[in-house]
Amino acid sequence: MQENKQQYGISQYPDVDLIYQKLDALISQPMRPIRREKLQDMLAYFDHQCNKSRELSDEAKTYIPGGVQHNLAFNYPFPIAIEKADGAYMWDVDGNRYFDFLQAGGPIVLGSNYQPVREKVIDFVNQCGPVTGLFHEYELKLAKLIHHYMPSIEMFRMLGTGTESVMAAIRAARTYTGKKKVIKAGGAYHGWSDSMVYGLHIPGTRRFESKGIPRRATANTQEFYPTDLRMLERKLIMNRLRGGTAAVIVEPVGPESGTRPVPFDYNRKVRELCDEFGVLLIFDEVVMGFRLGMGGAQGYFGVKPDLTIFGKCVTGGYPMAGGVGGCAEIIQRFAPGIGGTGERAYIGGTLSANPLSCVAGYHALLEMERTNAPVIAGRAGDRLTRGLQAIIDKLGLPFVAYNQGSICHLETSGVMLLDLKRPIKLLKELKPRKHMMEEMGAAYMAHGLITLAGSRMYTSMADTDDVIDEALERFEAVLECVEGV
Ligand SMILES: Cc1ncc(COP(=O)(O)O)c(C=O)c1O
């Protein structure tokens, strides 16, 4: 276990071996879903108290594929339409209040709809509107601020999303190194660009999700089992004989925000391997950047990547959240303007780095530093996880709770931990375990708790001890209804 200085939201790095032992035990035994009769009671909540949401989502199915635009929206039993967000809570169109542990999927650390940032944005829009297409001082202010917090970001090019930023980083890495192969950790999500929809969610699954993507687009993408650095090394050796590797891209706490956690010294070892093979190291800090602390995962782990991907927090929850930064010599390849020099890595985006996003990001980051939000949110994550562990112990459940600061995991079905090392188990159990996760999400929702896909909770500065304690009572009410309790 690793103690860390308190400017970061992780007070104690989790014992990764112990977590894997518990997760292995969880998926080795039969599922423990909510008891059927209790689940019926919980689903009745949606029938009786979510009528407007149901009407809206029924109509939306005519105009929107699947009835909802966002992958993280709950679909089971049907999507809930949100009307208001404030601090630790959200309210749906039927007036029901929820504890918001989604935090928009990670961008929000100050709490939802944080007033001081909102006011700056409104003032700015009143004066300038959302976009001009020309340079604005806030582009510079934001880039300088990011450099101040993360010195490895000598230069920063802002983009619209994490997905675009990963695409851009890979393009820059290939331009700079003259090599093609890119290696990612299996199971990791780095956005949905053609080359990165490979080995998604479940390690070893390569092109399982690559419908509509030509084979050639993923021909230079490779994956390694997330904690298996020997496998990464073998890939680097093989690639050296076949034209070389441009970059290794990792999420520094492990794929899917640490759903498959990695040991504390992992990033240092990946860095060493990259140096040994002359390969660029890309940190995907879309979630970690500023959530773990103002220095990001690279500050927390003390490892300097060549390129860093930003998203989510970089605009404090306001739209067009993305960017890639790092070593000036590499980022220079993005220099805009008309006419290339032959060394340019072409990227663009009409609304990228629009002044509204830059203003929002600049003030959100300053507020996060001023209020110490990442550390406060991390303490809330610790309290939530400790409380969940106590409930699990009390009820004698095989479920697994752990956190990396304000990123809290509660694995009940274990679906995210299935893998191709046990293919028959994967084929047999993927669907039922996935459905159990959906049921858990719906059960939490019926108790006023919004989680990410029924297995992850992001905490924010708005999560006071009272908020967390009340939320824990609700989690307990759900977990008491699990089969066998
Ligand atoms: C680690 C990671 N990388 C990249 C992305 C893609 O970012 P975006 O959704 O902004 O395209 C995400 C989104 O959740 C992410 O979690």
**DSSP result, 361-379:** HHHHHHHHHHHTHHHHHHH
Collapse the DSSP code of 448 into the 3-class scheme (helix H, G, I; strand E, B; otherwise coil) and give the result. coil
Q: 306 C-alpha to center of ligand 1: Å?
A: 19
Ligand 1 pocket test: which of 72, 158, 163 has the largest number of ligand atoms within 8 Å of its C-beta?
163
The first and second tokens of residue 416, run together, are 């995210």
Instruction: Point out the ligand 1 atom lying closest to the alpha carbon of residue 188.
Output: 1
DSSP 153: -
Question: Could you give the residue ranges of the DSSP H alpha helices within 342-422?
Answer: 355-371, 373-395
Pocket of ligand 1 (CB under 6 A): 105, 161-163, 166, 189-191, 251, 284, 286-287, 311, 321-322
Per-residue pLDDT of the chain (485 residues; tens, 9 = 90+): 444 445 999 999 999 999 999 999 999 999 999 999 999 999 999 999 999 999 999 999 999 988 888 877 778 899 999 999 999 999 999 999 999 999 999 999 999 999 999 999 999 999 999 999 999 999 999 999 999 999 999 999 999 999 999 999 999 999 999 999 999 999 999 999 999 999 998 898 999 999 999 999 999 999 999 999 999 999 999 999 999 999 999 999 999 999 999 999 999 999 999 999 999 999 999 999 999 999 999 999 999 999 999 999 999 999 999 999 999 999 988 876 655 556 788 899 999 999 999 999 999 999 999 999 999 999 999 999 999 999 999 999 999 999 999 999 999 999 888 888 888 888 899 999 999 999 999 999 999 999 999 999 999 999 999 999 999 999 999 999 999 99
Q: 80 C-alpha to center of ligand 1: Å?
A: 23
Among 352, 331, 344, 287, smallest CA distance to 169 is for: 331
Q: 321 C-alpha to center of ligand 1: Å?
A: 10
Residue of minimum CA distance from atom 3 in ligand 1: 190
Residues with Cβ within 8 Å of residue 295, at least 6 apart in sequence:
7, 8, 149, 150
Strands (E), 76-213: 82-86, 89-92, 97-100, 155-159, 181-185
The first and second tokens of residue 26, run together, are 């969880």
Q: List the beta bridge partners of residue 449.
A: 99
Helix H or strand E encompassing 450: strand 449-450
Angle between helices 423-446 and 36-49 (to 10 degrees): 50
| Cα(258)–Cα(90) distance, integer angstroms | 26
Name residue, tokens 């961008």: 107
| Cα(27)–Cα(400) distance, integer angstroms | 11
Q: What is the number of H-type helices and E-type strands within the chain? A: 16, 14
Q: 286 C-alpha to center of ligand 1: Å?
A: 6
- Contact (Cβ atoms closer than 8 angstroms) between residue 85 and residue 113: yes
Q: 188 C-alpha to center of ligand 1: Å?
A: 10
Residue 22 C-beta-side C-alpha neighbours within 13 Å: 23
Among 404, 147, 162, smallest CA distance to 295 is for: 147
Among 307, 310, 325, smallest CA distance to 357 is for: 310
Residues with Cβ within 8 Å of residue 237, at least 6 apart in sequence:
277
The first and second tokens of residue 291, run together, are 């959530």
Ligand 1 pocket test: which of 288, 307, 312 has the largest number of ligand atoms within 8 Å of its C-beta?
312
Instruction: Point out the ligand 1 atom lying closest to the alpha carbon of residue 161.
Output: 10
Among 261, 299, 267, 203, smallest CA distance to 403 is for: 261
